[in-house]
Amino acid sequence: MSKTVRSATPEHEDTPEPPLMTARQAAGPVASAVRMGDPEREHVARRNLAAAKIGEAIEAALAVAPPLTGTQVQHLSRLLRKGGQR
> pLDDT digits over 2-38, tens only?
445 444 444 545 555 566 788 889 999 999 999 999 9
State which H helix or E strand residue 20 sits in. Answer: strand 20-21
> Which sign does the torsion angle of CA 33, 37, 41, 42 carry?
positive
> pLDDT digits over 35-71, tens only?
999 999 999 999 999 989 999 999 999 999 999 999 9
DSSP 8-state class, residue 37: T
